[in-house]
Structure 1
Amino acid sequence: MSIQTGGLLRVSHIPLSQIRRPIAPVLDYQKIDAMVSTLKGTPQASKTCTLEDATAMNSELPPIDVLCVRDQGETYYFAFGGCHRFQAYDRIRDQTGEEVQVRCKLIPATKSQLKLYVGSSIDDMFP
């Protein structure tokens, strides 16, 4: 749970392919392996999650905070955290060949708010 979405109860499911990740992640592959295992129904502990906590997740990962920006009638999704969860969802998609729905807590944002995260590269993110 994050400070931004701790009070949000609604969890949305957004296709992985629709969520943009403008910042490259730094990854711990053992943690990703544990998350993939949890998504497949076989909980596994990692450095940051005990087996008891992984078991309590019931084959789900915590929702990822996603900025939701509306521009010219279109909706765009951007995520800056949840790197390991995204990689776990991506690996599941690669293994199954099917689109994966990511559990998200959506944070409404404007283009000017998004610019605080990405600077001038925002011009390349919208048609």
Structure 2
Amino acid sequence: MSIQTSGNKQIDYLPIEQILRPIPPVLDYCKIDAMVSTLNGVPKESSTCKLENITAGELPPVDVLCVSDKGKKYYFAFGGCHRFQAYEKTKTAKVRCKIVPCTKSMLKIYLGSSVDNFFE
């Protein structure tokens, strides 16, 4: 949970292939393995998550920025890298998300002048 979505209780499920992740992740593979185990129904503690905070078969939602442009929605994630890797390893088609409305100018904070490369 982040400051941006702490008050947002709405959970959405987005197809993993619709979520753009423009920044390459730095990964802790032990953490990913713990998340895969949790998704498979066997909660496993990791370096950043204690067993008492884990719900079997479920990972916390990923914050996803949603930008609407010319009638189309674009979804961007800048966090949740380990969760995405766990979803990919378990072939999970949809990701639990909290969607945050965003504008192109706000997205430019993350992407700089390359922001326009992501829009048709």
**TM exceeds 0.5?**
yes
User: Does the 8 Å CA contact 2:19/2:77 hold for their aligned counterparts?
Assistant: yes
Shift of 1:64: 0.5
Supply the RMSD in Å over aligned alpha carbons: 1.0
Aligned residues: 120
Shift of 1:90: 1.2
Q: Distance in 2 between matches of 1:82 and 1:27?
A: 10
Instruction: Show structure 1 runs of 5+ residues with no match.
Output: 94-98
User: Does the 8 Å CA contact 2:42/2:56 hold for their aligned counterparts?
Assistant: no
Name 2:67's counterpart in structure 1. 69
1:121 aligns with 2:119: no
| TM-score normalised by L of structure 1 | 0.91
Q: Deviations over 1:26-80 (max 9, x none)?
A: 10000000001100101111111122322xx131000010000100110010000
Q: Distance in 2 between matches of 1:49 and 1:5?
A: 19
Q: Give the secondary structure class of the aligned counterpart of 1:32.
A: helix
Q: Distance in 2 between matches of 1:17 and 1:68?
A: 14
Q: Distance in 2 between matches of 1:78 and 1:91?
A: 20
Instruction: Show structure 2 runs of 5+ residues with no match.
Output: none
Q: Give the secondary structure class of the aligned counterpart of 2:99.
A: strand
Name 1:42's counterpart in structure 2. 42
1:81 aligns with 2:79: yes
Q: Distance in 2 between matches of 1:17 and 1:91?
A: 14
Misfit runs of 4+, over 3 Å: none
Shift of 1:125: 0.4
Name 1:19's counterpart in structure 2. 19
| TM-score normalised by L of structure 2 | 0.96
Q: Distance in 2 between matches of 1:109 and 1:49?
A: 29
